[in-house]
Amino acid sequence: MSLDLVIRGGSVLDGTGAPARSADIGVRDGRIVELGVVSSSARRIVDADGALVTPGFVDLHTHYDGQATWDDELAPSIDHGVTTAVMGSCGVGFAPVRPTQHDQLIELMEGVEDIPGTALHEGLDWRWTDFPSYMDAVDALPHTMDLLCQVPHDVLRYYVMGERAAAGADSTDADRAEMKRLLEQALDAGAVGFSTGRSDNHRTARGEYTPASEASAAELVALGSAFAGRDRGVLQAVSDFDMNHSVARFHAEFDLLEGMAREAGGRPLSISTMQRDMAPDQWKWILQRAEAATAAGLPMRCQVASRPIGVLLGLEATFHPFMGMPGFKALSHLPRAELLAALRQPDVKARILSEDSDPVAGDGSPIPKMADEFLKALPLLSMRLFVLGQAPCYEPDPATALGAQAIAAGKNPLEAVYDAMLQDEGRALIYFPLFNYTAGNLDVVHRMLTHPLALPGLGDGGAHVGTICDASMPTWTLQWWGRDRPRDRIALPRLVQQLTADGADFLGLADRGRVAVGQRADLNVIDFDHLAVGAPRLHADLPAGGKRLLQPATGYLATVVAGQVVRESGRDTGARPGRVVRV
């Protein structure tokens, strides 16, 4: 019998951590059916001579919950080799929902994940109320990649408790029983798991704390119990672990999450793990507690980013350092060309640089509350601001910071930031690493990434659309950690294993993550020597003309999902084999 597809002559990194080996791959009906020397005829042949062939990447942390209902392409993740993505992260999403709660959930997503409310209002058609019907609505639109759905804690709280769901308000026994029932209903319908967000930095568009951020141990235990007796399903948590307080508070918070996992009968729990400047050793504590829990029979994994978790500032981005200055606000209505001409006038520049900023966060703004503190500390923080440029580097030398360069040149650091923002006709982006960059390098990230409990994640695909494009992390992980970093690189077979099999195994997906006979034909063909991320650019392609940052990649010769080539040399082929995976 002829094959649907043959990928011929590639150097295969199969996702097991084994060294690369030369092999052809034969595909029929969406599965790998031959591996080695393939002589069978095929309807399509992809020449992989000189290229790497890997399993498709598994992204454990995205926010395509709204976008997936109107967009079949799912850029930017598909541009970076992702073939399976998990939605519903951080406890936020759009189901279950009552008809009277549409605005409430949009404000939640806009505030927490910087997705324009106008785009969500126009893009969401709300063809669902419960979680199973939400999954049906997503599945009705075929996509470039497969999607898995997590049930978000904040949304459960809104649905069950209504106006009583405000942060800090305790749920009743009846509330908890109903939330558990709804979670069980979703898991029975194939949802992959449950996510909760307990971060003080997460706020609604009104500046309010998210509903589940202070949920009690009793509530977490009740929701964990929905998994008891099940042999599938995962839990996800993001928490600040009371980073401004004592070590005892850290352990008290971890105890809550561990109690939830214990009640879930040992279903795997992943915890967002990063280095925070205010608690630079907290990541070690998380890993130590995760090690101890896993040794005691409660499997835990730590989701880590492969680069600093930061934001991009710019004239066209969601946020920039001068947007609260009265002098800038008076000009902000101008078309970009006129605005640039005005900002370049010496008297305008001098006025803006001399002003104090008005508040820019809260009261309906999606900008985080920390932004106002950033503006007050801008001269000092200019030592942490870098021009991203056309060939982005996410481990910049501290000596290249705008503040450091200004001081070396005898200039005002604020002036250096102002001038940088106007570069490239106002399209320049300034990189501000928030987490994972305490020492001005990624040595701590290396330690996190190479820990046996690490899972690459936190790319936030579909979220923070005007401030980041970390969905490019899979590409940058291979480029930087596998090839370009001057020291302490990570072996390429291990990096590929982390991006593929490790994520699939965590989710319980036995049909993907490896190149082997019988596995789904989710594959990437990569010109590794030319693999690179490009400069992010804003595109006004969201509903209602909303803007988002997209970051291109070079080096992907083909991305294959369920045996169909969905990307070829960076171009969309129109194939849409992706569906909602029900576990």
pLDDT for residue 178 is more than 70: yes
- In the β-sheet with 82-87, what is the strand arrangement from edge to edge? 57-59, 82-87, 146-152, 193-198, 234-239, 269-272, 300-304, 454-456
The reply to whether the predicted model has a pTM over 0.85 is yes
**Residues 534, 431, 381, CA angle at the centre, nearest 5°?**
170
**Residues 244, 249, 254, CA angle at the centre, nearest 5°?**
115
Q: Mean pLDDT for the chain?
A: 95
Count up the domains in the chain and report the number. Answer: 3
pLDDT for 204 equals 85
Is 278 among the domain residues? yes
pLDDT for 363 equals 58
Query: What band does 376 get if pLDDT is binned at 50, 70 and 90?
Result: confident
CA pair distance 61, 238, nearest whole angstrom: 11
- DSSP class per residue in 42-101: EEEEEE-TT-EEEEPEEES-B--TTGGGT-SS-TTGGGGTEEEEEE-GGG--S-S--GGG
Is 575 among the domain residues? no
> What is the phi-psi region of residue 363: left when phi exceeds 0, alpha when psi lies from -120 to 50, beta otherwise?
left
**Residues 102, 103, 106, CA angle at the centre, nearest 5°?**
90
pLDDT for residue 163 is more than 70: yes
pLDDT for residue 1 is more than 80: no
Q: Are residues 325 and 426 in the same domain?
A: yes
Is 513 among the domain residues? no
Angle between helices 131-139 and 173-188 (to 10 degrees): 30
Contact 158, 116 (CB under 8 A): no
Decide which of 507, 538, 558 is a domain's last residue: 507
CA pair distance 144, 574, nearest whole angstrom: 8
| pLDDT per position as a tens digit, 100-123 | 999 999 999 998 998 999 999 999
Q: Are residues 478 and 342 in the same domain?
A: no
Is 73 among the domain residues? yes
pLDDT for residue 251 is more than 80: yes
pLDDT for 407 equals 96
Query: What band does 362 get if pLDDT is binned at 50, 70 and 90?
Result: low
pLDDT for 359 equals 86
Q: What CATH number has the domain bearing residue 540?
A: 2.30.40.10
Q: Are residues 535 and 471 in the same domain?
A: no
pLDDT for 128 equals 98
pLDDT for residue 380 is more than 80: yes
DSSP letter assigned to residue 242: S
Query: What band does 457 get if pLDDT is binned at 50, 70 and 90?
Result: very high
Q: Are residues 353 and 397 in the same domain?
A: yes
Query: What band does 259 get if pLDDT is binned at 50, 70 and 90?
Result: very high
* Rounded average pLDDT over 418-445: 96
| pLDDT per position as a tens digit, 506-515 | 999 999 999 9
Is 517 among the domain residues? no
Query: What band does 369 get if pLDDT is binned at 50, 70 and 90?
Result: low
For β-strands 21-28 and 31-36, DSSP reports them as: antiparallel
Is 198 among the domain residues? yes
Q: Are residues 286 and 325 in the same domain?
A: no
Euclidean distance between the first and the last CA atom of the chain, given in angstroms as a whole number: 31
Contact 562, 522 (CB under 8 A): yes
Q: Are residues 176 and 321 in the same domain?
A: no
pLDDT for 365 equals 62
Rg, the chain, Cα only: 24
Is 368 among the domain residues? yes
Is 544 among the domain residues? yes
Contact 106, 121 (CB under 8 A): yes
pLDDT for 202 equals 83
pLDDT for residue 496 is more than 90: yes
Contact 448, 302 (CB under 8 A): yes
Query: What band does 364 get if pLDDT is binned at 50, 70 and 90?
Result: low
pLDDT for 200 equals 79
Q: What CATH number has the domain bearing residue 198?
A: 3.20.20.140
pLDDT for 244 equals 63
Q: Are residues 396 and 498 in the same domain?
A: no
**Residues 534, 13, 472, CA angle at the centre, nearest 5°?**
20
CA pair distance 126, 66, nearest whole angstrom: 10
pLDDT for 206 equals 79
Q: Are residues 51 and 62 in the same domain?
A: no
Decide which of 372, 402, 435 is a domain's last residue: 435
| pLDDT per position as a tens digit, 185-208 | 999 999 999 999 998 788 887 778
pLDDT for residue 366 is more than 80: no
Q: Are residues 65 and 40 in the same domain?
A: no
Q: What is the dihedral of CA 395, 396, 397, 402, to 10 degrees?
A: -150
Neighbouring-strand partners of residue 537: 550
Q: Are residues 105 and 117 in the same domain?
A: yes
Decide which of 455, 478, 507 is a domain's last residue: 507
Contact 197, 91 (CB under 8 A): yes
Number of neighbouring beta carbons within 10 Å of residue 412 = 14
- Report the percent of the chain where pLDDT is more than 90: 90
- Report the percent of the chain where pLDDT is more than 70: 98
| Secondary structure percentages of the chain, helix, strand, coil, to 5 | 35, 20, 40
Tokens of 253: 């918070």
Q: Are residues 395 and 480 in the same domain?
A: no
Q: Are residues 143 and 271 in the same domain?
A: yes
Closest Cα partner for 258 from 286, 232, 231, 230? 286
| pLDDT per position as a tens digit, 209-250 | 899 999 999 999 999 999 999 999 999 999 998 766 678 889
Question: Residue 365: which domain range?
Answer: 312-435
pLDDT for residue 547 is more than 80: yes
CA pair distance 360, 358, nearest whole angstrom: 6
- Phi/psi of residue 544, nearest 5 degrees: 65, 20
Angle between helices 217-224 and 173-188 (to 10 degrees): 30
